[in-house]
Structure 1
Amino acid sequence: MLPTIVFLRHGETNWNVEGRLQGQRDISLNDNGRAQAKRNGEAIRAAVADIADFDFVASPLERSRETMEIARLAMGLDPSAFHLDDRLREITFGDWEGFTLAELRATHPDLVAAREQDKWSFLPPGGESYEQLSERVQGWLATISRPTMAVSHGGVGRVLRRYLHDLDPQAAVTMSFPQDQAMLIKNGSTEWI
């Protein structure tokens, strides 16, 4: 069984608000995203008594690093005391990054329709599929040997939930993944805090 994991999606960005595919673009948090990160840090501190003893790791993208720093500060911890893991980067949407699905539907309706039919296996031009992302996430999970808090992205979180709970791939990657709650994985069960 895995050690306890606290998984936190980065806070909101302006591109989240606009519905733009961020992928691996380095986008900063907006003010609401910073407030979400602070709220999540406070909630984690209240729910996980031994959080200071955890390993702390984040995606190297700016929005995840900033979320981790704010959350750690809200937990009363040194905001810079964490490490980065490239396997926690968001899925890359390749040539589609920066566009909304509505914009892509207008220029590439056939590709957007193919994605909607099989979001798990769909490979955007120059990008990666969720199936490929799951290999990265499983590689990261295999290295966890102690309680860990990770800050990453919605795509990574969806793949993590699919893997941990043996969910249908299409269902896993189409379900919402909040930015204003943390996922606590402990003793084989998952709860939101």
Structure 2
Amino acid sequence: MIRLALLRHGHTPWNRAGRVQGRSDIALDPDARAQLAAQRLPAPWDCAALWSSPLSRAAETAQLVAGRAPRTDRALTEMNWGEWEGRIAADLRADPACDHRDIEDWGWDYTPPGGESPAALRARLIPWAQALTDDTVAVCHIGVMRVLMAHATGWNFAGSAPFAVKRNRLFVIQIDGDIWHLRPDPVRLEARP
């Protein structure tokens, strides 16, 4: 059995503006850098293997909270939002001609125009996670986290999620072969002394 702890990257200007980021490589904003530099991974996670998405917002978050460079893997890249990347999510939802939906109405096969479905994201994430051999921290994106946590809980992107992804917390999944279990209590990052 191994444990996989998922951490969402810090804020970017696009997060704060409500823009859909997806695979766009948007950097952390100065406030996020300052906040993350004041925090660290708690024990025993500070000694775990460290991975991140290759996108700069995730890799820099990993470096700031761990004090070391992460290994990166394309599997951890955020979901591709296709034609919706860079657009304001609230504007997309308000457009009656657009099929932008809240996550509770997705299902595994919901796909933005020119983008990627949660099922496609899961198809690239599960082999990466199954290949892990040590307890691991993965700094990634909300879409990646939702797919891995949905897989661990059996949630099918229909109705309310049995979890809420928040920043500055490690969401821990126990992986024992094909049996995945999301631990109920996220672990907070610690303040640096």
Which has the larger helix fraction?
1
Residues 163 and 105 (structure 1), Cα distance of their counterparts in 2 relative to 1, 3 Å cut = closer
Q: 2:97 aligns with which of 109, 112, 123?
A: 109
**2:79 matches 1:66:** no
What are the equivalent positions in structure 2 for 1:129-140 lying under 5 Å apart? Answer: 129-140=117-128
Aligned partner of 1:20 in structure 2 is 19
Structure 1 vs Structure 2 CA RMSD: 2.6
Which has the larger strand fraction?
2
Q: 1:49 aligns with which of 32, 44, 48?
A: 44
Aligned partner of 2:114 in structure 1 is 126
Displacement of 1:101: 2.2
Taking the aligned partners of 1:14 and 1:35, their CA distance within structure 2 comes to: 14
Taking the aligned partners of 2:107 and 2:93, their CA distance within structure 1 comes to: 15
Displacement of 1:173: 6.5
AA in 1 matched with 2:21: Q
Residues 176 and 161 (structure 1), Cα distance of their counterparts in 2 relative to 1, 3 Å cut = same
Structure 1, unaligned runs of 5 or more: 74-78
Give % identity.
Answer: 31
SS at match of 2:120: helix
Taking the aligned partners of 1:124 and 1:66, their CA distance within structure 2 comes to: 28
AA in 2 matched with 1:179: R
Taking the aligned partners of 1:57 and 1:173, their CA distance within structure 2 comes to: 25
Give CA-to-partner distance per residue, 1:96-143, whole Å, 9 cap, x none: 100012322455634225987435321111100111111111121111
Displacement of 1:32: 3.2
What are the equivalent positions in structure 2 for 1:77-88 lying under 5 Å apart? Answer: 79-80=68-69, 82-88=70-76
Aligned partner of 1:33 in structure 2 is 32
State the TM-score, normalizing by the size of structure 2.
0.81
State the TM-score, normalizing by the size of structure 1.
0.81
Taking the aligned partners of 1:28 and 1:149, their CA distance within structure 2 comes to: 20
Structure 2, unaligned runs of 5 or more: 176-180, 188-193
Taking the aligned partners of 2:98 and 2:182, their CA distance within structure 1 comes to: 39
